[in-house]
Structure 1
Amino acid sequence: MDDLNKIIDKKIGEVRTESLDFSFGEIVNMHKADEPEIIIQPDYQRLFRWTDVQKSRLIESILLELPIPQIFVIEKENAVLELIDGLQRISSVIQFIDPKSLGKEPLKLQGCDLIEELNDNTFEDLPLKLKLLIKRSSVRTVIIKRQSQSFLRYSMFKRLNTGGAILAPQEIRNCSARVMGDEGEKFYKFLQKMADYPSFVLCTKILPEQEKEKKGDEELVLRFFAAKNDPESFKSKVPDWLDIYMEKVITRKIDFQYEKEEREFKKVFDILGNTLGEIAFASYRKKKPVKNLSPAYYEAITIGTFRLLEQISRISMDAIKHKIINTVQSDEFKQYTGSGANKPEMLKGRIKVIETALLELIHE
């Protein structure tokens, strides 16, 4: 038990925090300064999905002097603060007081149900007393000091943001990676770059737009590398598997060779783009492709293709296309993609079916 106490004491010492009360007026000024003292990363801003009613009710709560939950920021090396939790609250207040600094239209209050007279007012419409009340109201701000270990900062961000429904898993991964520092930033940008590769974009065109907005395309890129490089970490839950793999990359627990990985990724998707195109990962009904992207098909086809990359590069594109289309419609393949598809043996099975089919093509 003494050993456990020591371990916990050591971990506590690895995270340094400070709590301050910042007024909303201070935060607005810090954000819009020529050299901003508090920043909201553009990628975080894209995740800002509160409705105008939710924003308005926050302003109403501030005017009624109701408690506002604390926010969390990270102190960067240059002492600038970066917001990692409290995005909706802070962005709502900034949009209300100084919408230009966010590149947004002025917020006109709506849906206020405790003070209905607030509705249809912008910040400029309010009397001076209320403007000053909002600006002088404060929010408790927890600063994670720059001396804290990067992985613990990363873990804190994940824990702060996995409880709510506002962020999709890949959005949390992307933001978490940036919290890690240079290695996280590097991997995050790599995922973005691969998601923008034309052949990948073509092959994943049938991914629903709402999934792309939640970074579903970047999650597919990550899924390719996890299935290619770390299938043994897959137990049953895909989100956990992808989290584990990404953490291994950005903490350098595995050697992720960026140039090599990029070349292999592009070769796989160039082949699939030239053979299957938009229907690369579609399932089939009555021998016709269904316009939905099946992750199980995606894993099997991409990894099966990767494993025989050099050999099939000498096979005709038309032959590869027909072989994959016929294989994914076979009973053998379907037994690994139906009920219980998210099991390790099912993942291995469907990849093996594609790999075997392409081997047959090579040996014909």
Structure 2
Amino acid sequence: MSTDLFQDQLDSERRRRAQEEGEEQIRAHMRDVDYTIREYPIEVLVPKYLIGAEDGTNEIFVPDYQRSFVWSVKQQSRFIESVMIGLPVPYLFVADVGSEDEELSGRLEIVDGTQRIRTLAAYLTNELQLEKLTKLDALNGTKLDDLLPSRRRRFLRTTIRLIELTEKADEEMRRDMFDRINSGGEPLNPMEVRRGVLKGTFLSFVSELANDPKLREIAPLSPSSIKRRDYDELVVRFFAYTEAYDDFKRSVIDFVDEYIASKASFDLTRDGPSMRYEWRNMLRFVADNFQHGFRKSSTNTRIPRVRFEAIAVGTALALRERPDLNVSPAEVADWAYGNEFTKLVTSDGANSRPRITARIEFVRDHLLRE
């Protein structure tokens, strides 16, 4: 038998095995995905979301891994306009969630569609005033109660379709679906995706620190950034860099993801106190000694992440070496708001390993030499 013929037979056998194994995997996973399609009028759907929301007993609920309500009024208005004129809108993806508590079992967790159902709720409760509509511009500035009674009734009867995963879909499957739905385009930032895909005590701990009033005071962010969990991102980057900035390679997202994965065994009682202390000690020091906190000046309203990282991590490293560190705010101002430091946190390649090392160690070394 020639070498070419033998190779062809070998390749054919490999393809056959791959096809058979692939078919087995497809069949196995198809058995795991069991769903039904439901259709509710808006006047039925929205109360299922609103009634009991305050005490966590609402029939349709938003899980903690979902993003906050981030749609602008313009985006909300455009969605209502689409529903109003009968344009197709995406299905809501929900999952039947079992519980040992019979009062909670059978509730529907929203896997995808939180912005849409929140928008419908805002409109039905007359909190949403439409704006910047193009097709229905006569409705700009109006709320639901401003419609003719007949149009209001027709709107409330409009149905929204849901794809409902049955109770066979466990939490891992729901989070996997969340990840797949939100992996295309630009729907979520990295921290929002992490909260959807990952879970555990460490990310809950991060969220706790992200709500620190001192952080909000010296590192102000826009309301939209706050909703997109940018404070959580600052916290997790702080710990990732303080523990291993010299291990950074090329991708910040990969670096942070790997760090979070390393915290799978994080124990709040064992690990939390020391990390919480270092975080709060750093914030206190920055507030006391950096005239503008993490801002470049008193007029700046945005905090570049690279500037935050440099000051926060550099300060923490300096305090590790000298816990009783005492500096002069006036001397700190000489370099913290000077051209050399500004260049380090704004130059091209700001997230290259040399740049990260340079800006962190710049802050550390300048604090220690005072």
Normalising by structure 2, we get a TM-score of 0.71
- Check the 8 A contact 1:170/1:219 in 2, yes or no: yes
Residue 356 of structure 2 corresponds to 347
1:30 alignment partner, one of 29, 48, 55? 48
Offset at residue 330 of structure 1 (A): 6.6
Residue 49 of structure 1 corresponds to 72
Give yes or no for the alignment of 1:88 onto 2:115. Answer: yes
Give yes or no for the alignment of 1:273 onto 2:287. Answer: yes
Question: Hey, what's the Cα distance between the residues in 1 that align with 2:128 and 2:31?
Answer: 42
CA deviations over 1:185-219 (Å, ceiling 9, x no partner): x44543333223243233314x4555345433332
My pick for the range that moved more, 339-348 or 24-33, is 24-33
Residue 22 of structure 2 corresponds to 5
Structure 1 residue runs of 5 or longer lacking an equivalent are none
Question: Hey, what's the Cα distance between the residues in 2 that align with 1:110 and 1:336?
Answer: 38
CA deviations over 1:144-203 (Å, ceiling 9, x no partner): 7464352x53343234235455655444545x26xx56x2xx445433332232432333
Provide the identity percentage: 20
Give yes or no for the alignment of 1:298 onto 2:308. Answer: yes
- Check the 8 A contact 1:233/1:244 in 2, yes or no: no
SS at match of 2:369: helix
My pick for the range that moved more, 340-349 or 165-174, is 165-174
Give yes or no for the alignment of 1:316 onto 2:335. Answer: no
| Larger CA Rg, structure 1 vs 2 | 2
- Check the 8 A contact 1:31/1:37 in 2, yes or no: yes
Q: How does 1:74-113 map to 2 (within 5 A)?
A: 74-78=95-99, 79-96=106-123, 98-99=124-125, 104-105=126-127, 111=133, 113=135
SS at match of 1:313: coil
Q: What code does the residue aligned with 2:135 have?
A: D
My pick for the range that moved more, 112-121 or 324-333, is 112-121
Residue 193 of structure 1 corresponds to 208
Change (3 A) 1:248 1:147: farther
Alignment: residue pair count: 338
CA deviations over 1:32-56 (Å, ceiling 9, x no partner): 4454211135974532435253133
Give yes or no for the alignment of 1:60 onto 2:84. Answer: yes
Residue 165 of structure 2 corresponds to 143
Q: How does 1:98-177 map to 2 (within 5 A)?
A: 98-99=124-125, 104-105=126-127, 111=133, 113=135, 122=144, 125-126=147-148, 131=153, 134-135=156-157, 137-143=159-165, 145=167, 147-148=169-170, 150=172, 152-161=173-182, 163=184, 167-174=188-195, 176=196
Change (3 A) 1:293 1:129: closer
Q: What code does the residue aligned with 2:116 have?
A: R
CA deviations over 1:9-48 (Å, ceiling 9, x no partner): 4983695341322313442342244542111359745324
Change (3 A) 1:144 1:223: farther
Structure 2 residue runs of 5 or longer lacking an equivalent are 1-14, 100-105
- Check the 8 A contact 1:235/1:344 in 2, yes or no: yes
Q: CA RMSD in A?
A: 4.2
CA deviations over 1:103-137 (Å, ceiling 9, x no partner): x5366698373797999573684556973675362
Normalising by structure 1, we get a TM-score of 0.72
- Check the 8 A contact 1:281/1:295 in 2, yes or no: no
